[in-house]
Amino acid sequence: MTQSISAAIHIRGPSIQCAEIGREDSTLQLRRLDSTTVDLDGRGVLWDADGVPDALDRVGTFAQDALEDTEASAIALVVHPLEVYSFFVPIPAGLSERERGQRIAYQAALVTNTRSPNALHITSRSVRTVEVGGETVEWVHVLAVPQVIEELQDALRAALPVQDFVRMVSTEAVASLTGRAETEEDLLPENKLPENEGDYGLAIGHYPTYIEYALTHEETWFHAHAAREARRPKNQAYYAVGLLNRIGVPVSEVCGLSLYGPGADAAATVPLETIFDCSPVSLDPFGVLRWASEQPENEAPGACAPCIGGALRVQSA
């Protein structure tokens, strides 16, 4: 008997993907997986839908069809960090809810250069706490999305029997998958655990116009970054090291590298192998999922990682 069902809707540019997973004890089953491209003359859904009046309707119709009669208790809405406003901010721990909200709102206004409270919809969540100079600091991830996401969420809530929608960036979704990968041998090369005993894992997403990084620590999301300038292999390694340096994580503490996204299979990895002294592996979300039916031939594993990871994330939310 299925104990828990969750789903995800993954939006990247004009591409939409939906997934649904179920859990029976410790076994995960991929119950649905479907994808499409919304014709917006090459533009993205999130910011350019206004130019195509029925774009939002088409996205909603596809998601409703893909998740028709779903029994999911929660749905993740997964977006990419360079298609929204996504950033981390340190704030003192122990603030009142009001003070915490004011700090986050102020930082969001600075980052987005938006003063109108109705222009963007902001959510935040605590990622980790650290001790700095004898004081406890809370690192918070802030996600600000355009009005179109709120409209899409309202439309889906009305059409699907699901009330719990959780917004997240792709790096957080992938971190849920890589966190599980650290304990699942099927996701590691030759079914062997890495010999390095470091506590950090780094997943690198390869997309046509940008690269994104998801850092995990002890199987949980720790930090993230994305860059449009990291197309060349040397630049990808440079930004990876820069991310670690900014938050004080030694390169030697990274025990595993994984690649995902539509460009992962063709990625050059020599610079990364030289710096991290380990070989990146392809992140295969199907390695920990039992298929309810035959695996579709046109769904590349790495490209499905954010969507399946999002559904996995809200399984434990």
What does pLDDT average to over the chain? 84
Residue 283 tokens read as 């992140």
pLDDT at 191 over 50: no
The pLDDT assigned to 202 comes to 95
The answer to whether residues 132 and 190 belong to one domain is no
Residue 132 lies in a domain: yes
> Given a cut of 60, is residue 190 above it in pLDDT?
no
Residue 302 lies in a domain: no
The answer to whether residues 47 and 133 belong to one domain is no
pLDDT bucket at 295, cuts 50 / 70 / 90: low
User: Residue 34 domain-assigned?
Assistant: yes
- pLDDT at position 23: 87
pLDDT at 286 over 90: no
Residues 24 and 75 in one domain: yes
pTM exceeds cut of 0.85: yes
CATH of the domain at 247: 3.30.420.40
Are 186 and 255 part of one and the same domain?
Answer: yes
Same domain assignment for residues 132 and 189: no
CB 177 within 8 A of CB 163: no
Q: Mark whether 156 and 70 lie in a shared domain.
A: yes
User: SS3 for 189?
Assistant: helix
Q: Is the pLDDT of residue 69 over 70?
A: yes
User: 95 and 69 in one domain?
Assistant: no
39 Cα distance to chain centroid = 24
Q: Are residues 94 and 64 in the same domain?
A: no
Q: What pLDDT is recorded for position 198?
A: 66
**DSSP characters over 276-302:** HSS--EE--GGGGEEESSPPPTT--HH
- Residue 298 in any domain: the answer is no
pLDDT band at 53 (very low <50, low <70, confident <90, very high): low
Higher pLDDT, 46 or 284: 284
Structural domain includes residue 60 = yes
Q: Please compute the mean of the pLDDT values over residues 114-118 and round it to a whole number.
A: 71
**104 domain residue, yes or no:** yes
Q: In the beta sheet, which residues pair with residue 19?
A: 8, 33
The boundaries of the domain holding residue 271 are: 176-286
User: What digits encode the pLDDT tens for the residues 13-52?
Assistant: 888 999 999 988 778 888 999 998 876 554 566 665 555 5
Query: What is the three-class DSSP state of 122?
Result: strand
Residue 284 has pLDDT above 70, yes or no: yes
Residues 135 and 210 in one domain: no
Residue 306: pLDDT over 90: yes
Does 4 have pLDDT greater than 80?
yes
Q: Are residues 194 and 131 in the same domain?
A: no
Does some domain include residue 300?
A: no
Q: How far apart are CA 126 and CA 90, in angstroms?
A: 10
DSSP state, residue 193: -
Per-residue model confidence (pLDDT) at position 42:
47
Percentage of residues in the chain with pLDDT exceeding 70? 84
Answer whether residue 299 is part of any domain: no
Contact present, 301 and 283 (Cβ < 8 Å): yes
Are 132 and 9 contained in the same domain? no
Domain count, the chain: 3
Residue type for position 122? I
- Least confident range from 115-124, 136-145, 165-174, 212-221: namely 115-124
- Taking residues 155-161, report their average pLDDT: 79
Q: From the centroid of its chain, how far is CA 36?
A: 19
Do both 194 and 280 map to the same domain? yes
